[in-house]
Structure 1
Amino acid sequence: MTGRLRKDLPIGLLLATITFVAYYGVLHAGFNNYDDSQYLTENPAIKAGLTAESVEWAFTTGYAGNWHPLTWLSHMLDWQLFGAQAGPHHLISLLFHIANSVLLFVLLRSMTGALWRSAIVAAIFAWHPVHVESVAWVAERKDVLSTFFWLLTLLAYVAYARRGGWLRYCLVVVCFVLGLMSKPMVVTLPLILFLMDFWPLERIKIGTFWKTMSSSGSTSGNWYPAEWKRLVLEKLPLLILAGISSWITLEVQVGGGAVSLTNLTLSDRIQNALVSYVRYLGKLFWPRKLAVFYPYHYGWSFWQVGAAALLIASLLLLAIYKMRRSPFLITGWLWYLIAMVPVIGLIQVGEQSIADRYTYIPSIGLFVAVVWGVLELFSSLPLRNWILGTGTSLLLSACVVCTIIQVSYWKTSETLFSHALEATKDNVVAEYNLGQALSTAGKMDAAVPHYREALRIQPNHARAQNNLGLALYMAGKAEEATHHYSEALKIDPNAEEFHFNYGLALASLGRVDEAIEQHSECARLMPEHAENHFTLASLLVRKQQFEPAVLEYSETIKYKPEHVGAHLGLALVLNQLGRIPIAVEQYEETLRLSPNVVIALNNLAWIYSTHPDQSVRNGGRAVELARHACELTENQQPVLLGTLGAALAEAGQFKQAVEAAKKAQAMAEAAKMPDIAEKNAKLEKLYVSEKPFREEMALLSNSQEAANH
C-alpha cells in the first residue's frame, strides 16, 4: 500500500461511514405521494421489472416530462429485486450518494493533491442538509445516478488530460452519455471541463492569453493559440451530445409540463433566475426552513432583482480579479452558475420556484471555492491550524446533525408535507399532498381543512375539489361532497375519476338516474375503468334495466376477468332474464374465484336441484354446494337449509331432505319468516312422497331471500 493510499483510504472509509449514519433514517422511510407514485408505485412499466417491453419503454418514453432511460432502468431493477419494499429503494439511492461523496474526494485529491481540502469539500457535499432531498426522495434517483456518471466523466477526463489516448477519451464520452441518460442536467458538463482545464488541470495557461494582447489593448497575432483550438475541438463531440440531449429534453418537456411563455414572460423568468441564484446561496450557507416544495413567487421587486444581479456580478468580478492568484474562485463560482443553468427556471417546468435537489451538482463548485478560499484567507494567521480545525469540526458536526433532522421529515408523506407547511406559506402543493396523505391514512376530518386551504390558495385546483369531495363523502357528508365534485367537473369536465366519485355520492343519496349519467360519462371517457362498469351495472339493476346491466357486467369482466362481484352480478341478472345455462357458467366462475360466496353457492345449488331440464340438474354437485353454504352460515339460515333439502331430494336422499325441510320451517317460524316457513312445509310434503321439487323460475325469489338473510 502506497503512502498516499494509506492516508486516503481511512478518510474515504470515514466519509462513507458517517454518511451512512447520517442518512440511516431513510431506510425506514416509505414512498411519498409526491412523484413516487407517478414514477414507481403506480407505474406499470416500472412494476413489470426488466422486460423487453419495459426496456423499450424506458428508451422511447417522455413520461413525466423526462427522457432518462438509465434512471428508469435502475428503478425497474430495484422493483424486480425488492418489489414494493421502500427501504431497499432508499438504500440504493443512499449507496449512490456515498459513492458520489467518495468519488468527489478522489477527484479533487487526484487533481489538486490537497488532502484535507478535498476531504472537507467531499464531507460538506456528503453531509449538507440541502442534499437530503436528492437522497431521501426515491423519485429523485436521477440526481444521485447522474452525478455518479458526472464524477466518473471528470475522473476519466483527468486521466485523458494527463496521459492522452483515444481509449481514455472514449471512456469520457461513454460516461458522459450515461450521465445524459440519467438526467439531462448533465448537459453543462463540457463547459465545466473548460473550467477544469483552467484550474486545477492548468491546461489553459492564463499567461498565454495575456501575451497575445498588445499594450494598446488590441489583439496581436492569433487570439486563440493552437492549444486552445485543441481544447475546444476535443469538447466538440461532447457539446454535440449535450445539444442532442437538450433538444430531446425540450421536446418531452413541452409535451409533459414545461410552462409556456404565455404564463411566464421571459422577463419573469430572468428575474426569478437571478433571485433564485441568491436564494440557493442562502440555502447552502444557512440551510433553514428546507422544504420539499417552494411555491413560485410572482413579481419580484426591482430592488430584490437588482440586489441579486449586483451580488452575482460582484462575486464574478471578484473571482476574475483574483483569477491569477486564486484561480479556484473563478472555477468554483462559474461551476455553480453554469451547472445551475438547466434548472434555474429560464425554461420553467412545474410550479416550484426553487428546489433543494437542484443544488446537488452546482454546489460542488461553490464548496470548492469557499473551502480553498477560506484556507487561503487564514493561511498567514497565528494558530491557523487550531482555528481551522475547530471551525471545520463544528461546521461538519452541524451539517451531520441538521441532515439527521432533515432526513426524519422524509419518513412519511404526512411528516414531509407537515414540515413543508411549517417552512413555507401559501403552499398549495404541501396543503394538497398533506390532505391526500391524511385521507389515505383514513383521517378524513383532518384532511378536509388542508383541502380547503389548498382551494383558498388556488381556487381552480380541480383535484383538490375532487379530493375534498371524497373526504367529505367518506366522512358521511355526501350532500356536501356533491357540490365539490360538481365544482371539480366545471374545472376539468374530462376527468373520469371526478365523474366516478360524483356518481358514487349521488347514488348514496338515492339520486340513481343522475348517478347513472355520471358513470356513463366516466365509461365514455375511460372505457377500461372496470370498477366504473361494475358500479354502473349495479345501478342499472336497481332501475330494473337488466339488458344494459348485462353489457356493463360483461365490460367489467372484459377489463378485469378476476372481478368476483361482476361474475356474480352477471349470473343474477342472467338468471332473472331466464338465461340459465349462461348464468350457471357465471356462478361456477364466481365460485372458482371465491369458493365461499354464499349466495352463489345457494343459487347454483338451487338450479342444479330444481331446474326442469334434466341436462342442467346435478344432484351430487347441488348437495356439495348446499352443504358448504350451510356450513359457512353454521346452519342458521332457513333459506339455505331449504335449498339443502331440495338438493338432497334431487339426489334421492328423501329422508334427509324431509329433515332439512322441517329444520328450515321451524327456523323460519322462529325468525318470523312466514313465507319461507310455508314454502318449506309444502316441500316437506313433496319429499315425504319421495318427489323432488321442480320449478321453472324459482331461483330469483330464493336468491333474494338468501341475499337478505
Structure 2
Amino acid sequence: MGAAGVTGRLAGWVERVHPAWVGLVGLVLYARTAAYGFVLHDDPWLVRDNRLLHDVNVDSVWRVLSDFSWEQRHRLGAEYLPVRDLSVMLDYATYGDWIGGHHLTQVLLYAGTCAVLASLALALSNSRSLAWLTGLLFATHPVHVEVVAWLSERKGVLGAFLLSSSLLIATSYLRRGGSKRALAACLIFVLAVASKALVIAGAGALVLIALWLESPLGRRHKLAFVGAYAACGLLVFIPNVWVSSSMGVIVPYHGEGFADTLLLFFRAHTQYLKLMAFGGPYAVQYAVQPGETGVAGWLPGALAAGLGVGVVAWAMLERSRRTVAMLGLGWWFVFLAPVSHLLVPVQNYAADRYVFLPSFGLLMAFAALLMKLPRAVAWPVGTAAILLACGWTLVQTPLWSSTDRLFENAARVDPTNAAAWDELASLAAERDDHELAWAYTHTGLEHSPGDWRLLHRQGLLLAAEGKLEAAIETMRRAASVPDSHKVYANLALLYLRRGLRDEALQMAEEAVRLQAETAHNQRVLGIVAYEIGDTETACRAFERAAALDPYDPDNVQNLELCAERGSRPPVEP
C-alpha cells in the first residue's frame, strides 16, 4: 500500500473516532511522572508542609473556604483558590503521603483537559480531522511539561479542565439552548476561577465563541448569557484580587512606565512564539526581563501581536472573515492578555505555564490552516509536528524528576540565571558537598558578577568554614537591594556570633522593615532581641514567625524557649 493509501485509511479512521480519545495520549505520555517526588520549587508549601490540607474534616474545609485572615491566606499561597486547595486535600485523603498519587491526579486532569479541548475544537469547527490534529498537538506539546509535572501548578491544570468543560457546555447552549446547559456552564466557570484566578479570561473566550458560532438564540439571549457567565466568574475573581492585593502578590508594574511594560510583553511574546514553534530549549526560567534589549528580542513579538490583533478585530467586524483560524488566533490573545503584564503585572516575566491555555488557540489556528492544504501535504506535516512535539516532551519531562535536574537545565539554558546557580549551590550545601556548592557559586558569579543572591551564598559558605570576617564583608556587599532582605537577617546572625549586638539588632530590624511578613526575618529578630535581653520584643517576633509558618519546628521551639525565659535560641545562620 502506498503513502496515499495509508493517508486515506488514517483519514477514514479519524472521521469515525471521536477526538476526545486524544486524552489517552496525554495520559500515556506523562504516566511516568507518577514515579516523581517533590521539587523544591514551591511544592513543599502547597503539598508537603501544608498541614491544613493533610486532614479532611469540617474545620479544615471551612477554613479553606471562609477564613480570610492574613495568616490563613499566607499559608495557602496568598491567594483565594479554594477549589485548588480542596483538590490537594482530597489527594491526601485518597493517597496519603504517596506523592505519586498527587502526580497521578495531575496527569488525569491533563488527560481530561486534552479530551475536552479536542471536543471543543470539534464543536467549533465541525471537523474531526481538525479536532484530532489540534488535540494531538495540544496533548504532546512540550510547553505543557511544566503544568503537568509540577505539583504546584495544580491550579493551572485543574482550572483549565474546568474552564474547557464550561466552555464546551456553553458552546452546546449557544447551539441548542436549554437553561440547564446555561446554568451548568456558569457554575463550572465559578469552580474554574476558584481553581486559577486568571481563567477569568474564559469570559472573553465566550464572547469570541458567541460571535463566531451560528446560533438560534437571539442577540439579547446571547448577551444575557455572556453577561451572566462573566458575572459568575467575578464572584470568585474579586475576592481573589482582594486577597492577593492585600498580601502584595499583585506587584507594581515592571519597568519605569507603560512603554517599558509594553516592551516586556513584546519580549515575552517573542519567547512564547519561539517555544510554540518547538524552538526551545524549555526551562523553568527564561532571560526575559524589563529594560533595554536588542531589536531581535522584541520586534518579532511586536509585529506578531500587532498583526494578530488586527486581523482578529477585522474578523470580529466582518462576519465572512470569522474562520476557525481567526477564532484560534483570538483565543491566543484573549488568554495571553492576563499574563501580558499590560492588564495586571504578574510575578514572573515569562513562563511555560503562562501559555498553557493560550496554546490551544494557536494550535487550533495552525491545524485549521494546515487542513486547507492538500491531504498529501497536510497529513505528513501534521504527523511530523506531532512526532517532534512528542520527542521534545519525552526529553523535557525527566527534568522535573528532581530539583537538581530542574535548575541544572535552567542554568544551562540561561547561564546568567543567578537564581538557578544559587539554588544549585544551596542544594549542594544541604548535602554537605561544599566543594560543589563553591563551584556552582563561582560559576554563577562568573556569569552574573556582583549578583546579591550569589554573594549571599558565598557569605553563607564562608560562615560555614568559620571565616566570619570574610563572610560579613561579603554579606555587606550582597545587602544592596530590597529583595535582599534575607541577607540582612543572616548578616544579623553573623554579627551576633561576633558579639556585635548593636549591629546585629540594626540588621535584624532592617530585614523586618524590608519584609516583615517572612518567618525567617521575624525569627532572626526574635533571636537577636532575646540575646540582648529584650524578651518582650523577642516574644512578639517569635509569635509572628509562628503565625507565618506554624509548622516549622524552629518556630515552635523558639516559642517554648521564650516561655521558659531561660534558654537561648540558636544563632547559626
- Kindly provide the amino acid, as one letter, of the partner of residue 17 in structure 2: D
Post-superposition offset of 1:315: 4.0
Partner SS for 1:94? helix
Post-superposition offset of 1:150: 0.8
CA distance in 2, matches of 1:66, 1:345: 18
CA distance in 1, matches of 2:344, 2:446: 24
Counterpart selection for 1:166 from 174, 179, 182: 179
TM-score (norm 1): 0.64
Task: Note if 1:8 corresponds to 2:8.
Answer: no
Residue 602 of structure 1: aligned partner: none
- Kindly provide the amino acid, as one letter, of the partner of residue 96 in structure 1: L
CA deviation vs aligned residue, 1:358-403 (integer Å, no higher than 9, x gap): 111111111111111111132xxxxx2x443333332212211210
CA deviation vs aligned residue, 1:555-601 (integer Å, no higher than 9, x gap): 99x9989969x89xx8999xxxxxxxxxxxxxxxxxxxxxxxxxxxx
1:293, 1:429 within 8 Å by CA — same for their partners in 2? no
> Counterparts in 2 of 1:337-352, with a 5 A limit?
337-347=333-343, 349=345, 352=348
The aligned length equals 526
CA distance in 1, matches of 2:282, 2:463: 35
CA distance in 1, matches of 2:448, 2:64: 35
Partner SS for 1:324? helix
> Counterparts in 2 of 1:308-457, with a 5 A limit?
308-317=301-310, 320=314, 324=320, 327-347=323-343, 349=345, 352-378=348-374, 384=375, 386-451=376-441
CA distance in 2, matches of 1:174, 1:354: 31
Task: Note if 1:290 corresponds to 2:299.
Answer: no
Post-superposition offset of 1:82: 3.9
Higher relative contact order (CA 8 A, sep 6+): 2
Partner SS for 2:500? helix
> Counterparts in 2 of 1:264-303, with a 5 A limit?
264-295=256-287, 296-300=289-293
Counterpart selection for 2:214 from 202, 225, 228: 202
- Kindly provide the amino acid, as one letter, of the partner of residue 285 in structure 1: A
CA distance in 1, matches of 2:484, 2:415: 31
Partner SS for 1:352? coil
- Kindly provide the amino acid, as one letter, of the partner of residue 303 in structure 2: L
Structure 1 161/363 Cα, relative in aligned 2: closer, same or farther at 3 Å? Answer: same
Residue 232 of structure 1: aligned partner: 223
Post-superposition offset of 1:38: 3.6
Post-superposition offset of 1:436: 2.6
CA distance in 2, matches of 1:274, 1:457: 25
Residue 28 of structure 1: aligned partner: 35
> Counterparts in 2 of 1:513-524, with a 5 A limit?
513-514=499-500, 518=504
> Counterparts in 2 of 1:299-698, with a 5 A limit?
299-300=292-293, 305=298, 307-317=300-310, 320=314, 324=320, 327-347=323-343, 349=345, 352-378=348-374, 384=375, 386-451=376-441, 464-487=454-477, 499=489, 503=493, 507=497, 511=498, 513-514=499-500, 518=504
Post-superposition offset of 1:56: 1.9
2:175, 2:215 within 8 Å by CA — same for their partners in 1? no
Structure 1 305/520 Cα, relative in aligned 2: closer, same or farther at 3 Å? Answer: closer
Counterpart selection for 1:103 from 104, 116, 140: 116
Post-superposition offset of 1:458: 7.5
CA distance in 1, matches of 2:303, 2:483: 48
Partner SS for 2:121? helix
TM-score (norm 2): 0.77
CA distance in 2, matches of 1:284, 1:572: 61
Structure 2 regions of 5+ residues with no counterpart?
Answer: 1-11, 513-518, 547-552, 568-573
Task: Note if 1:260 corresponds to 2:252.
Answer: yes
Structure 1 312/463 Cα, relative in aligned 2: closer, same or farther at 3 Å? Answer: closer
1:503, 1:519 within 8 Å by CA — same for their partners in 2? no
1:188, 1:242 within 8 Å by CA — same for their partners in 2? no
CA distance in 2, matches of 1:122, 1:423: 29
CA distance in 2, matches of 1:280, 1:71: 26
Structure 1 449/411 Cα, relative in aligned 2: closer, same or farther at 3 Å? Answer: same
451-460 vs 118-127, greater mean Cα deviation? 451-460
Post-superposition offset of 1:98: 0.7
Post-superposition offset of 1:85: 4.0
Structure 1 103/238 Cα, relative in aligned 2: closer, same or farther at 3 Å? Answer: same
Post-superposition offset of 1:326: 6.4
1:460, 1:491 within 8 Å by CA — same for their partners in 2? no
CA distance in 2, matches of 1:466, 1:80: 40
Task: Note if 1:86 corresponds to 2:86.
Answer: no
- Kindly provide the amino acid, as one letter, of the partner of residue 342 in structure 1: P
Structure 1 441/168 Cα, relative in aligned 2: closer, same or farther at 3 Å? Answer: same
Structure label with greater radius of gyration: 1
Percent identity between matched residues is: 21
Post-superposition offset of 1:521: 8.2
CA distance in 2, matches of 1:450, 1:407: 24
CA distance in 2, matches of 1:493, 1:425: 21
30-39 vs 470-479, greater mean Cα deviation? 470-479
1:33, 1:433 within 8 Å by CA — same for their partners in 2? no
108-117 vs 495-504, greater mean Cα deviation? 495-504
Counterpart selection for 1:119 from 125, 132, 138: 132
